[in-house]
Amino acid sequence: GVRLAPKERLEIPVLFMPAEMKIYKAVVVIHVMRENGENWSCEVTAESNTDLNRNVTVAENGETQGILWIYPINGTPEAPQQKSVVIRCQARQRLEQRVELLLIGVMPGASALPDAGNSAMVNTDESSNTPEVTDGSCATLEFLYELQYQSDEIRSQLESLVGMQLVQKEWDTESRIVTLIFNVVFAPSKPMRNEATLVIQCTAGGLWKFPLVFIATEPEVDDVINIVAVGLNKESIVGFKLTSQTR
């Protein structure tokens, strides 16, 4: 019953308030007809495009009675912001650490999987290879994850220094909390402090984000150089070599 003048804009608000961590799907359908009830003179024949047949309503005489626009909506619930996980290592050292992350509200038993086009943010090289969600056991829950950076500069500094791998997952059926255990490797070459976000998506529905803080402290002293003075107002010289680890 909404009337639109020529060239007028219509805004359709969509509210998403998920009650559970699962995939929600809906469709917004807009049906446009002439205000005077007349049809458009163009006829839809059997030779017409099949897409056209799906997007118009046809009157008995073959004329176009209405035009349809169909917009699918996929809703993915996102958990509240989690506490930061700090990974600390001394520069020029290598740290291998187990990190446990809790996913609250996981919905087992959901058969709907996200469309392939909606998972561009997922790094499939680092994701679980479970084929699909089939029942309520933890082994059938698939989780996709990716380490995201705030800027390309931070990515260039951290990407080659950080490695993550999902090694174990545990599920508490009563509390519906899934514990993911990651093996994190951090090998900084110089002191730094950078942040990244670990984004985890469950194929049964739900998105969790965990801020990670990578801190590289000052390295150990390489050596102590002693310079012995040969006398007052006279120069003393000590030579030493520096080797570059890169080109």
The tens place of each residue's pLDDT in the chain, 247 residues long, gives: 889 888 999 898 999 999 888 889 999 988 888 888 888 777 666 565 555 556 888 887 778 888 888 889 999 999 988 899 999 999 999 999 999 999 988 876 544 333 333 332 333 334 433 333 334 455 567 899 999 999 999 999 999 999 999 999 998 878 888 999 999 999 999 999 999 999 999 988 899 999 999 999 999 998 899 999 988 999 999 998 888 877 8
The burial of 238, by beta-carbon neighbours within 10 Å (0-12 exposed, 13-18 middle, 19 or more buried), is given as exposed
Whose tokens are 């080797």? That residue is: 243
**pLDDT tens digits for range 187-224:** 999 999 999 999 999 988 899 999 999 999 999 998 89
Residues with Cβ within 8 Å of 170's Cβ and at least 6 positions away in sequence, in order, are 138, 178, 179, 181
Same domain for 89 and 159, yes or no, is yes
Do 64 and 159 belong to one domain? no
Determine the number of helices (DSSP H) and then strands (DSSP E) in the chain. 2, 11
Paired tokens of 12: 């359709």
Q: Which residues constitute the domain of residue 57? A: 24-44+52-75
Rounded CA separation 234/136 (Å):
81
- Residue 169's nearest CA partner among 153, 155, 183, 185 is 183
pTM above 0.95, yes or no: no
Cα–Cα distance between 62 and 40 in angstroms, integer?
A: 10
Task: Tell me if 177 is assigned to some domain.
Answer: yes
- What domain count does the chain have? 2
